[in-house]
Amino acid sequence: MVKDNEDSTGLPDLTGTVVVVTGASSGIGAASARALAGAGARVVLAVRDTAKGERLAATINGDTEVRPLDLEDLASVRAFAAAWTGPIDILINNAGIMLVPEGRTADGFERQIGTNHLGHFVLTNLLLPHITGRIVTVASNAHARGDLDLEDLNWNKRPYDTSQAYSDSKLANLLFTFELQRRLSAGGSSVRAMAVHPGMVRTNLFGHRRVLGSVIDFVGRFAMQDPAHGARATLFAATQDIPGGSFVQPGGYAHLRGTPGISTAAPSAYDATVAGGLWTLSARLTGTELASPM
């Protein structure tokens, strides 16, 4: 059983660093925000429920700000980006949904690909002129089961499978990250993009599925990490001197938990042809004009 009181950060002094964390009002995002602020960073909690974000921010010892961001609504994403001024040292694309019933975002996208990938795709591109350091996207080892259909990304033709849709969205996170790094490198930018698998973490991702959530909660007390430990991979990717295009995950059994380090994703995550196709499709679906880094 993982002890919740173990020191799991080991962060450098981040005084003067500006960090944006999406989905920072609970789970791994909240733990990441708490640790980064505790190390001296100014942390912006980009959250859908600002009241919840404010309650969380009030418990954090450090410099925090709460701003509204709903990744299921591209108008909200664009408003967040349009309101931003000044540099961002680190963008952490943490927010996500998992195994939700079939549904559509405000823009008509399947919810999991819309929230987990397309929302962050737009946010990252719109904020890119402000980003000076790195972009960290929280993925999952479920990406290995992903099988993206670029002809039916939004499940308009196929019978809906929520588990497959989730895995597809996590594969999209990795394809996006590695394609972003290729584009940054080709443009001579020093900005680095990396992705993480946090391991198995006790969060509220299963809260909408009562029976499964109860099982996860019971099993999780013995076999899963608390959010503070689950955030270690994110914090490692956000603060350690590692190459762009890195994939970080826990080094323990089956990568479920343990000390994070650079690892290798499934072969499908490195398919540059699929990544390029996904990038082009994502830009077309969202009407995103791609920006250049700062």
Is residue 216's pLDDT more than 60?
Answer: no
pLDDT confidence tier of residue 157, bands split at 50, 70 and 90: very high
Give the count of beta carbons closer than 10 Å to the beta carbon of residue 253: 8
Burial grade of 8 (CB within 10 A; 0-12, 13-18, 19 or more):
buried
166 included as an active-site residue: yes
How much is the mean pLDDT over the chain?
90
For the chain, give the percent of residues with pLDDT over 90. 81
Is residue 78's pLDDT more than 80?
Answer: yes
Task: Report the pLDDT averaged over residues 137-163.
Answer: 97
Is residue 102's pLDDT more than 50?
Answer: yes
pLDDT confidence tier of residue 126, bands split at 50, 70 and 90: very high
Task: Report the pLDDT averaged over residues 158-185.
Answer: 98
Q: What is the pLDDT of residues 186-204, one digit of tens each?
A: 999 999 999 999 998 666 6
User: 18-286 maps to which CATH number?
Assistant: 3.40.50.720
pLDDT confidence tier of residue 9, bands split at 50, 70 and 90: low
Query: What pTM was computed for the model?
Result: 0.90
Q: Any idea which residue has 């969380």 for tokens? A: 56
CA distance 92 to 76: 17
Q: What is the pLDDT of residue 204?
A: 61
Residue 186, helix vs strand vs coil: helix
CA distance 293 to 128: 5
CA distance 293 to 255: 33
Q: What is the pLDDT of residue 4?
A: 34
Q: What is the pLDDT of residues 22-43, one digit of tens each?
A: 999 999 999 999 999 999 999 9
Q: What is the DSSP string of 59-114?
A: T-SSEEEEEE--TT-HHHHHHHHHH--S-EEEEEE-----SPPS-B-TTS-BHHHI
pLDDT confidence tier of residue 256, bands split at 50, 70 and 90: confident
